[in-house]
Amino acid sequence: MAELQTLSDTAQVVIDPVAEADLAWIEALDAQITGRPKPDYWRRLFEGARSEPGRSFFLVARNGSGRVGFIAGEIRAWEFGSEPCGWIFAIGVDPDNRLRSVGTQLFDAVCDRFRQAGVTKVRTMIAREAQLILSFFRAHGMMAGPFVELEKDLDE
Amino acid sequence: MKLQLATRHALFAILELASEPERQLSAAEIAEKYDLSTNHLAKVLRTLGRAGLVEASRGVGGGYRFCGNAKRLNLLDIVQLFEPIWPIGQGMSEPGDRTRKGQALRRVLGEIEEATRATLSSITVDTMLKIARRIPDAPAEDMIRRAAALR
Q: Give the pLDDT of residue A5.
A: 45
Quick check: A113 and A57 in contact, CB under 8 A?
Answer: yes
Task: Give the fold, CATH level 3, of B5-150.
Answer: Arc Repressor Mutant, subunit A (1.10.10)
Q: Give the pLDDT of residue A1.
A: 45
> Of the candidates B118, B119, B124, which has its C-beta nearest A139's C-beta?
B124
Model confidence over A14-38: pLDDT tens digits? 999 999 999 999 999 999 999 999 9
CA distances from B52 to A108, B40, B45, B56, B73 (A): 35, 19, 10, 11, 11
Sketch out chain A's domains with CATH numbers: 3-139 (3.40.630.30)
Q: Reply yes or no on whether the pLDDT at B144 is more than 90.
A: no
Model confidence over B94-130: pLDDT tens digits? 899 999 999 999 989 889 889 999 999 999 999 999 9
Q: Which of A147, A152, A151 is nearest to A78 (CA)?
A: A147
Cβ of B123 and A135 within 8 Å?
Answer: yes
Q: Give the pLDDT of residue B149.
A: 65
B37 at A interface, C-beta within 8 A: no
DSSP B108-143: HHHHHHHHHHHHHHH-BHHHHHHHHHHSPPPHHHHH
Model confidence over A81-105: pLDDT tens digits? 999 999 999 999 999 989 899 999 9
B117 at A interface, C-beta within 8 A: yes
B19 at A interface, C-beta within 8 A: no
Q: Which of B10, B74, B85, B80 is nearest to B48 (CA)?
A: B10
What's the rounded Cα separation, in Å, for the pair A29 and A32?
Answer: 5
> How high is the ipTM of this complex?
0.81
Q: Give the pLDDT of residue A64.
A: 84
Question: Which residue of B lies nearest to A144 if distances are taken between CA atoms?
Answer: B119
In which region does residue A141 sit, left (phi positive, over 0), alpha (psi from -120 to 50) or beta (all else)?
A: left
What's the rounded Cα separation, in Å, for the pair B73 and B69?
Answer: 6
Residue A58 main-chain phi, psi, to 5 deg: -135, 105
